[in-house]
A and B are shown apart, each in its own frame.
Chain A
Amino acid sequence: MSAPLVEAALAPHGEGRAGEEPATPPPGRRWRFWRRILFRLVGAVIVLWAAATFTFFVQTLLPGSRATLLLNEQTGQQKQYTAAQLAPINHEYGFDKAVIVQYFDYIGGLAHGNFGTSYEQHQPVLTIIARQVGPTFALTLTALVFAWVIALALTLFTTRRNRLLSGLGSGLEIVTAGLPYYWLGVLLLVVFAIDLQIFPVVGGTGVTGLILPALTLGIPLAGFLGQVTRDEFEKVLEQPFVTSARARGMGDLQVRLRHVLRHAVLPAITLSGWALGALISGAVIVETVFARPGIGNVIVTAAQSRDVPLVSGVVILVAAVYVVANVLVDLAYALIDPRLRAG
Chain B
Amino acid sequence: MLSRTPRVALILSIVAVAATLSACGGSSTGTSSSGATAAPTSNTGGTPQQGGTINYAHNLEVPCLQGGWVEEAYIERQYTDSLVSQVSSGHIVPWLATSWSISPSQTTYTFHLKPGVFFSDGTPLNAQAVADNFYYWTNPKTANGDVDAYLGPYFKSAKAINNLTVQLNLKAPYSPLLSSLSQGYDGILSPKGLARGVNANCDDPIGSGPFIIQTWNHGQNIVFVRNPKYNSAPANALHQGPPYVSKLIWSFIADPTTRWASLTSGQSDVIEDVPTVDWSQAKSAYNVQEYVTPGRPQTLSLNTDLGPFTNQDVRQAFAYAANRQAATESAFNGEIPFDGNGALSPSTPDFDAALENSYPYDPAKAGQLLNAAGYTGHDAAGYRTKDGQELDIKLVYGLGSIVNDEGATLLQDLQQQWKAAGFNVTLVPATLTQLFGGAYAAPTAADATIGYWTSPTPAVLYITYQYWNTPGDPNFSNSTFYDNAQLVKTIAAANSSLNPATQKALYTKAQQIIVNAAAAVGVYTKTTTLAWTKSLHDVWIEDSQGEPVFSDAYFTK
Contact = CB atoms under 8 A, between A and B. Distances in A.
A306 B434 CA distance: 10
Nearest to B441: A80
A202 B20 contact: no
B52 interface: no
The CB with the most chain B CB atoms within 10 A, among A72, A172, A174, A304, is that of A72
B360 to A, nearest CB: 31
A78 B441 contact: yes
Given A174-B6, A191-B20, A78 B258 contact: no
Interface in B10-27: 11-13, 16, 20, 23-24
B342 to A, nearest CB: 19
Contacts of A201: 258, 261-262, 265, 267
Contacts of B476: 77-80
A73 B64 contact: yes
A291 B267 CA distance: 13
B431 interface: yes
A202 B58 CA distance: 13
Interface stretch (A46-54, A63-71, A265-273): A63-71
A202 B5 contact: no
Contacts of A197: 265
B261 A194 contact: yes
- Scoring A168, A197, A200, A201 by chain B CB atoms within 10 A of each residue's CB, the highest score goes to A201
B118 interface: no
Given A197-B265, A293-B220, A166 B1 contact: yes
A122 B437 contact: no
A129 B477 CA distance: 37
B438 A79 contact: yes
A7 interface: no
Contacts of B441: 78-80
A72 B436 contact: yes
A233 to B, nearest CB: 13
Contacts of A305: 63, 432-433
A298 interface: yes
Interface residues of B, number: 64
Nearest to A174: B9
A9 interface: no
Nearest to B149: A77
A293 B219 CA distance: 7
B270 interface: no
Contacts of B439: 63-64
B406 interface: no
B470 to A, nearest CB: 13
B69 A76 contact: yes
B436 A69 contact: yes
A78 B146 CA distance: 11
Nearest to B69: A76
Of A73, A74, A167, A197, most B-chain CB atoms within 10 Å: A74
A78 B70 CA distance: 13
A306 B64 contact: no
A80 B255 CA distance: 31
Of A78, A201, A306, the most chain B CB neighbours within 10 A belong to A78
A289 B265 CA distance: 17
B9 A175 contact: yes
Contacts of B436: 68-69, 72-73, 78
Contacts, number: 156
Contact of A80 (B145, B251, B268, B442): B442
Contacts of A193: 261, 265
B67 A163 contact: no
Contacts of B438: 64-65, 68-69, 72, 78-81
Most buried by B among A168, A289, A290, A306: A168
Given A76-B72, A78-B435, A190-B24, A175 B12 contact: yes
A75 interface: yes
Interface stretch (B39-47, B196-204, B236-244, B299-307): B196-204
Contacts of A155: none
Contacts of A81: 438
B219 A297 contact: yes
Contacts of B7: 171
Interface in B503-519: none
Contact of A195 (B23, B148, B431): B23
A187 B20 contact: yes
Interface in A183-205: 187, 189-191, 193-195, 197, 200-202
B12 A172 contact: yes
Nearest to B476: A79
Interface string A213-243: 0000000000000000000000000000000
B308 interface: no
B145 A77 contact: yes
A63 B431 CA distance: 13
B73 to A, nearest CB: 9
A77 B253 contact: no
A254 interface: no
A76 B261 contact: no
Task: Give the one of B63, B202, B474, B477 with max A CB within 10 A.
Answer: B63
Contacts of B142: 74
Given A73-B202, A75-B143, A120-B63, A291 B265 contact: no
A65 B437 contact: yes
A171 B9 contact: yes
A301 interface: yes
| Residue among A85, A195, A298, A305 with max Cβ neighbours from chain B (10 Å) | A305
B68 interface: yes
Interface string A71-100: 011111111110001001000000000000
Interface string B118-130: 0000000000000
A121 interface: yes
Contacts of A74: 64, 67, 142, 198, 202
B5 A167 contact: yes
A73 B63 contact: yes
Nearest to A303: B433
Nearest to A296: B219
B135 to A, nearest CB: 15
A121 B217 CA distance: 10
A290 B254 CA distance: 11
A79 B254 CA distance: 25
Interface in A157-183: 163-164, 166-168, 170-172, 174-175
Interface string B230-265: 000000000000000000000101110110011011
25 contacts: A64-B439, A72-B438, A73-B63, A74-B202, A75-B144, A76-B64, A76-B69, A76-B72, A77-B68, A77-B477, A78-B436, A78-B441, A79-B438, A167-B1, A167-B4, A167-B5, A175-B13, A175-B16, A194-B257, A195-B24, A202-B262, A202-B267, A291-B254, A293-B220, A306-B433
Closest 10 CB pairs of A and B: A76-B68, A76-B67, A167-B4, A171-B8, A79-B476, A77-B145, A171-B9, A75-B145, A76-B69, A64-B437
